[in-house]
Amino acid sequence: MRQFSRLFGLSLLMSVVTAWAADPALTVYKAARLFDANTGTVSEPGWVAVEGERIKAVGTHEAVPAHAKVVELGDVTLLPGFIDAHVHISGQSSDNWYKDFYASVMRPAAEQSLYGARNAKLTLHAGFTTVRDVGSSEYVARSVRNAINDGVIEGPRMVVSNYAIGSSGGHADEAPFPPERIAVNRTLQGICNGADQCREAVRMQIKFGADVIKMIPSGGVLSLSDPVDNVQMTQEEMNAAVSEAHAWGRKVAAHCHGDRAAKMAIAAGVDSIEHGSFLQDDTLALMKEKHVVLVPTIFAGYYVGVHNEKFPPSIQVKAQAAAAAIQQMFQRAARIGVPVALGTDAAVEPHGLNATEFSLMVKNGFTPAQSLQAGTKNGADLLGLGDQIGTLEAGKVADLVAVKGNPLKDITVTEHPVWVIKSGRVVVSP
Ligand SMILES: [Zn+2]
């Protein structure tokens, strides 16, 4: 249909086609329970009325709107579509690190995009109707985002960063390939040294379609040539990157395992700290005070610990250290009351298992309701989409997930959604 209207270049035809394609019917989804992400409570029963791509009304015991088509979902809980604030849709890893490394070098972006499309579909079918993609090469994530927005492929709503911003030799940089054979990364690829270059690197990402800026001021786990927790950007570089991003209306997500780098990133004004493995209590308290969101990616830390033997020795040591620290750090963050948004680092572990993070949060001190808020409302707010998604309220986009039973009693039911609806369209149904 879209192709047809484009062929004729008639905007009038296009608007007629759009109006015709939108389903004017009011559909009411009735469930045994409804999760309110604002209060963290479940009401029984509950219903959501959907018209086109928007929520028209939400109720419990009230009569459903007249003339609506009613869909009885049965013994399920209706929740807002889940949000993962830390994924890498363009990448994936298998049990063979060396094979994955080879593929990452040899596979052109066009080919990798097909894998990205598959990963996007897996993520959506797992109930994650929105994701923030914080790091990709050669615009694969951006390509997947645009194809989803155009209705070409199936996937979640995506907020993407393009390349991450960081220093030469740091976690944002490529592996130390012989520079005579593989070109060294520059600002176009997010690599910067000095404040001016870091501004340029941010501008480059925005020029080529970044919705958010990912900054790497600290070492990382799955990179070959850096320690896991050192400081990799100067205060001036961080200040430049963050102020430039904010000047363009983009938020900044800072990858920090190390505590010192996190303190500097917070001083620079970042919006979220990713991972946070080695954060100290005073840093966590500062995040609470300044409302800097923690995106803990417990699943990734857990996964690299369990599958440690697949990595080369230099990465094994770092993965063990991060795996040992991250759950304990989250327990302290939960006690202190740091704002948390759910993130998984999917690509480190297989795509489509994102809901595992809910259980890991609950195992480490969150109530089920807190974990669900982290994966809905808090994620929406962090992504700057709080007025559109994240709660079930009239006027918002109709992103709905239905899970069996009551997730406040058994959080693992989130791992097998029975209904997934994105923008009013049913994606998964029994
Ligand atoms: Zn990541």
Give the CATH fold of the 82-382 domain: TIM Barrel (3.20.20)
Cβ 118 vs Cβ 155: under 8 Å: no
Identify the pLDDT of residue 339. 98
27 in helix, strand or coil? strand
Closest to 159 (Cα-Cα) out of 88, 108, 111, 223:
88
Total residue length of the chain: 430
Q: What angle do CA 139, 294, 130 make, to 5 degrees?
A: 45
- Distance of CA 334 from the midpoint of ligand 1 (Å): 21
- Distance of CA 214 from the midpoint of ligand 1 (Å): 9
Token pair, residue 348, equals: 């480190």
Question: For the whole model, what pTM was predicted?
Answer: 0.93
* Alpha carbon distance 189, 240 (integer Å): 17
Q: How confident is the model at residue 24 (pLDDT cuts 50, 70, 90)?
A: low
- Distance of CA 349 from the midpoint of ligand 1 (Å): 11
Identify the pLDDT of residue 269. 98
- The tens digit of pLDDT for each residue in 353-372 reads 999 999 999 999 999 999 99
* Cα→Cα distances 243→135, 192, 298, 335, 336, Å: 19, 15, 29, 31, 28
DSSP H helices in 96-209: 97-106, 109-125, 140-149, 195-207
- Distance of CA 346 from the midpoint of ligand 1 (Å): 8
Give the CATH fold of the 2-81+390-428 domain: Urease, subunit C; domain 1 (2.30.40)
Cβ 127 vs Cβ 358: under 8 Å: no
- The tens digit of pLDDT for each residue in 306-365 reads 998 988 888 988 888 888 899 999 999 999 999 999 999 999 999 999 999 999 999 999
* Alpha carbon distance 176, 169 (integer Å): 7
- Distance of CA 133 from the midpoint of ligand 1 (Å): 8
Closest to 228 (Cα-Cα) out of 258, 191, 265, 272:
258
Residue extents of the structural domains in the chain:
2-81+390-428, 82-382
* Alpha carbon distance 155, 144 (integer Å): 8
Identify the pLDDT of residue 321. 85
Identify the pLDDT of residue 66. 87
Run of H or E residues at 85: strand 82-87
- Distance of CA 221 from the midpoint of ligand 1 (Å): 10
Identify the pLDDT of residue 381. 98
- The dihedral sign for the CA sequence 357, 359, 360, 361: positive
- Residues around ion ligand 1, judged by CB within 5 A, are 345
**pLDDT tops 70 at residue 104:** yes
Q: Do domains 2-81+390-428 and 82-382 have the same CATH topology?
A: no
79 in helix, strand or coil? strand
* Alpha carbon distance 205, 193 (integer Å): 16
Mean predicted confidence (pLDDT) in 390-408: 98
